[in-house]
Amino acid sequence: MSRINNTYARTLNQTADMIAEVGDVITILVQGHMGTGKSSLLKILAKKFPTHKPIYLDCTTMVDSADMFMIKYSEDGLTFKTIPMEDLGLHLPDQPIILMFDELGKANRSVMLAANRVMVERKHSSYTMHKKSIVFATTNKGTEGVGDLLPAHTRNRITVVEMSKGDNADWVEWGIANGIDHALLGWCAETPQLFAEFSEDPEVDPDDNPYVFHPRSTRTAFVTPRSLEKASHILKRRHLLDEESVTSLLMGTIGVRAALDLAAFIALADGLPTLEQIKNDPTNAPVPDSPAAIAMVVYRTLATVERNWVEAWLTYMDKLPKPLQSLFVNGVRKPHYERRDCVTQNLLYQEWCKVNTYQFSADKK
């Protein structure tokens, strides 16, 4: 199963950047595969705009337009007026907001009609948003067959952008920054087919890729970035459960085939040196025999390294094969890597970069 080649599909961060730049004047509808992080766009934008109030609206839980607007008597008692529900944020004219309509394509007609003017004009009745407010929406791809449909008049009011599913390298980078279990990161790095898009070709057997969602498959659990994050929570507590229970939980989270393959990969993690061994005695801390196991040590370090033991790590790293040393350095060089300063400001790191002609990666942000 090959991924659909869409040159104009944007990554998660690229999509957030587009919304940040034009989301105050147009509403972008982000269309993408289920479980790929569309909802996390609100968190990313909230970091970009710390003075804005982030507001999340789950369109799947709204029964009708009354979940956004109600009516009351006007002050003269002769007419009715429409007032917004507090969750909508329209009552905050002096506070810029970031309003996200999540799963807009699954909203019933009443909710979608009520949302139209808010998305287009940033107002409803006598209420108007702050002029710097940002509005966007998300939906699943129609080809997934999960009920995401937009009427033509709504589609014409907004700008639809496709968000790419991303590949394993994208997700591993995200996972390092978000504390994903190191064994899971290692498995994802070694298994790119986990992030493949399903083929829409009717001649393709859905079981060609037993890991991912396919509308013609009977799989009830499958791999998505969202289900992998849940699997990470399970793996972080695997020491509290027997092996069969961990595998059972994984089967219900990422599917049978993925769970069995991941369980086999996790066995490698048992032979890893502990962080304490590396911190306290980097010269004598053991180095795993398997490149995949060494990669897990690197991913674990990228996710946890602190300034007070980065030098111990760099001493230990000098014992690793050169390609796996480069794996660490390339991870540090990622533009969104949050621990970059504590590594790049270390003299051992800067010396490594000079010796290995990576002078540019020793630069500070």
Report how far Cα 97 is from the mean position of its chain's Cα atoms. 22
Mean pLDDT of 188-204: 82
Mean pLDDT of 193-210: 81
pLDDT top residue among 358 and 230: 230
CATH 3.40.50.300-classified regions of the chain: 12-162
pLDDT top residue among 289 and 282: 282
Distance CA 101, CA 355 (A): 51
Does the pLDDT of residue 3 top 50, yes or no? no
Mean pLDDT of 125-144: 85
Which of 117-121, 264-268, 299-303 tops mean pLDDT?
299-303
Q: Which pLDDT does position 4 carry in this prediction?
A: 40
Mean pLDDT of 309-321: 95
Q: Which pLDDT does position 267 carry in this prediction?
A: 81
Q: Which pLDDT does position 143 carry in this prediction?
A: 59
What tens digit of pLDDT does each residue of 99-114 get?
Answer: 999 998 888 888 888 8
What tens digit of pLDDT does each residue of 139-161 get?
Answer: 987 655 554 567 787 778 889 99
Report residue 44's pLDDT band, with 50, 70 and 90 as the boundaries: very high
Distance CA 105, CA 243 (A): 40
Does the pLDDT of residue 364 top 50, yes or no? no
Q: Is the separation of the CB atoms in 19 and 136 below 8 Å? A: yes
Report residue 346's pLDDT band, with 50, 70 and 90 as the boundaries: very high
Does the pLDDT of residue 5 top 80, yes or no? no
Average pLDDT, the chain: 86
Fold of domain 12-162: Rossmann fold (3.40.50)
Does the pLDDT of residue 351 top 70, yes or no? yes
Percent above pLDDT 90 for the chain:
46
CA distances from 229 to 179, 181, 188, 225 (A): 10, 9, 12, 6
Does the pLDDT of residue 2 top 70, yes or no? no
